[in-house]
Amino acid sequence: MNKIKISAVAYTNTKAFIYGLTHSDIINKIDLSLDIPSDCAAKVISNQVDIGLMPVAAIPYVPNANIVADYCIGSDGAVNSVFIFSHVPVNEIKTLRLDAHSRTSNNLAKVLLKFHWEQEVSFTTDQNEETDAFVLIGDRTFGKKEDFAYAYDMGEEWKNFTGLPFMYAAWVANKEIPQAFKDEFNAALKFGLDHRKEVLQELPALPNFDLDDYLYHKLQFEVTDDRKKALKLFLSYIEELEKVSL
Ligand SMILES: C=C(O[C@@H]1C=C(C(=O)O)C=C[C@H]1O)C(=O)O
C-alpha cells in the first residue's frame, strides 16, 4: 500500500499528536511532514498530501473535504496562543496586520472585529507595515502577553461572543480514507494525548508560560458536537464577511 501523506502543524499544540503517531505502528504507513498551519492548508488544497491538520478556515477550499479524526486543535475559552496583540484598546483599532502562518486566526480576528466588537478595520499582510494591532499564533506568542498594552485571546473572545468552544484546526482529508486507517489513526492520536506527561518531559521549560496548563487545559482536543456547531457558525461568518467585501 502507498503511504498516506500527512502534513501536521509544527507547533507545541501538536506535540502530543506527533508523539502518538511516532509511537504507533501507523508511523510505517504514513509519510509525515511538519509545517506551519498555512502550509498545511496549502498542501491539502493542492493535493500534495492526503490528510492535513488543517486550519478550519481553509476547509471550503478543499474539494471533497472530510474530517477523518475525532481529535482536533481546539479550546473552550482562552487558548493562550491565539492573540490579537494591540497598542490600543480594541475599540480604537483601525489597522491590523495578519499572521502569515495562520488561516483560521486571521479570519477569526476579522469575524470578531466585525461582528463582536463592531469595528471597521483595514487589514494588511505586509510584515513591515506599522499597525495598531496584529495577529500572532502558536509558539511565537508564548510568554509575550505582558509585552503589549492589550492582548486579546481570541478563544476567550469567541466564547464571549457565541458561548461556544472553538476548533482551530482539524484532521482533514481531500479524498476518501479507508475506515481501518482512520481507526488506527484515531487510536494513535489518543495514545499521544494519553501520554502528555511524557511529551511535557521532552519539552524545555519556558519562562512566563505554563506548558502543563497549555497541553492539559487550555488546548482541548476532542471534536465535540459544540465544536462542530462552532465550526459551522464560524464558516458562515466568514462567508458573510466575503459577501460584505464584494
Ligand atoms: C491554537 C492554535 O491553533 C492553530 C491556529 C491555526 C490558524 O490560525 O490558522 C491553525 C492551526 C493551529 O495551530 C495555535 O496555533 O496557537
User: Each residue of 124-157: pLDDT tens digit?
Assistant: 999 999 999 999 999 999 999 999 999 999 999 9
pLDDT tens by residue, 49-62: 999 999 999 999 99
Residue 74 Cβ inside 6 Å of ligand 1? The answer reads no
Q: Which three cell numbers stand for residue 185?
A: 489513526
Measured CA to CA, the distance from residue 63 to residue 142 in angstroms comes to 34
pLDDT tens by residue, 85-131: 999 999 999 999 999 999 999 999 999 999 999 999 999 999 999 99
Residue 14, number of CB atoms within 10 A of its CB:
21
| pLDDT average, residue stretch 8-17 | 98
Closest CA to 119 of 88, 144, 150: 88
First to last CA, the chain: 46
120 Cα: distance to centroid of ligand 1 (angstroms) = 24
Q: What is the pTM of this model?
A: 0.97
Length of the chain: 246
What pLDDT, on the 0 to 100 scale, is given for residue 156?
98
- Domain assignments of the chain as residue spans, ordered by start: 4-73+167-223
Residue 81 Cβ inside 6 Å of ligand 1? The answer reads yes
**139 and 81 in contact (C-beta within 8 Å)?**
yes
Q: Which of 104, 139, 140, 145 to mutate to test the pocket of ligand 1 (most atoms within 8 A of CB)?
A: 104
Tell me the fold of 4-73+167-223: D-Maltodextrin-Binding Protein; domain 2 (3.40.190)
63 Cα: distance to centroid of ligand 1 (angstroms) = 22
User: What is the number of the ligand 1 atom nearest to the C-alpha of 169?
Assistant: 11
